[in-house]
Structure 1
């Protein structure tokens, strides 16, 4: 553990989720760069770890200035550990500028993996996890929020957002307006803590729940992507006729298109026969 920068994930709520590698890094690093030094000292106390190296604050307001110094320390042979208040550094937390500077200087950067609010909420949501995108915090101002969400209306991937509890209702209402009141979603709060809760439902339902319950704690909103538009029967018939005209067997073309379009094979086959019959009659 010398001459490099370690991005170390910290617990998002339950201190028991801290890895042995995190404990070792905090106790052995030459420099611990923390988003909030008080919270990092408290974490070390709960983990029964002594921070022997230099503890400095690196946050959004000073990261650009501190990054150069930290890269120089790592280049000189020191181990620099970067931690945020919770979860993985660089994910809506400080760290990107430091990594950018380290890469430019050829300094080794590695990760001590661990808890992630994004992945935890995604797994709990009950929504598709094969493709997703992280959108960070929802814009605070109403106009910016509406524009940002409208731009995501056609996004097919599951979307993950962070939000503060006092803005949860407004954000869910804006999402319902931009993405559709019936769009499936989930809200997770206080992940890994005693009062962890995940509420699932349509965006309009979740907005009403937030209005009534006024839930507290750190929030993660997960929203389903826009479903693919199912092709009309007329479109499927036209595609089947085109493929049959090109030499494909009728039953094969119909079976393939019925499965892809989510329609009855029998109904589609009847529609294709009817269309062919009308076409033959028109030519006659």
Structure 2
């Protein structure tokens, strides 16, 4: 499956489930789309070969999730060595990674039973329920171990929380007539929201930061920073009649989906607003010293 086919499949699945979507496939960013519905915000990177995703992209994707409180996902079909399975959750830079077909399953409320860890396909079981049901049926550890073909010590480890193969877990479920395999939470797993206070090294961003706006900086996204105020503020810098409208379009897409503000900061520009995105000139920043003054300018220019 090509990347274009994967993208089409993912976007179709999101639309089917009433997500609002902003796509950024044409740029070399840490994410390819942001999607949001009533319950969840997703930040997704799509690559046919997940090994093509660089570490710095993965780190920034996680940072984006922490900043806008989004669940981060990587969607791919293979590594350099093997194809990914549609019923398995993988991990790339501590980000859950699944196939496009698995993503469809997740949105349709189907569960993915196994995960890939250190070269093995494993499942986690409800070990408390395992022990409770075994004792209820008055089956010894040794007897249950013999029934499923494992050592007694191995059975003991299962009851202390050790993972196992899906095949072994299914044998246990059959013997005890109980669902034991834990569901892997894909959509509900997101990093805890975090307020960053990165130090910008670009003059215009420094001026915004000096007003009192804490920000998370990004090198692989359509924006250069996300400010932390009453709610998120997407920020980028621009220059010239071609660059600024293009960047305004990208900011508008991102901020609309997650219901945030956005601004472009520039040395000078004749318009104060591009498609609803306020343009803040350097001279504006030199006249204010408090964050509330910047917020006032933003509100005024959103209406212009």
What TM-score range do you get, normalising by the shorter chain?
under 0.3
Kindly indicate which of the two structures has a greater share of residues assigned to helix. 1
Larger radius of gyration: 1
Q: Which has the higher contact order (CA 8 A, sep 6+)?
A: 1
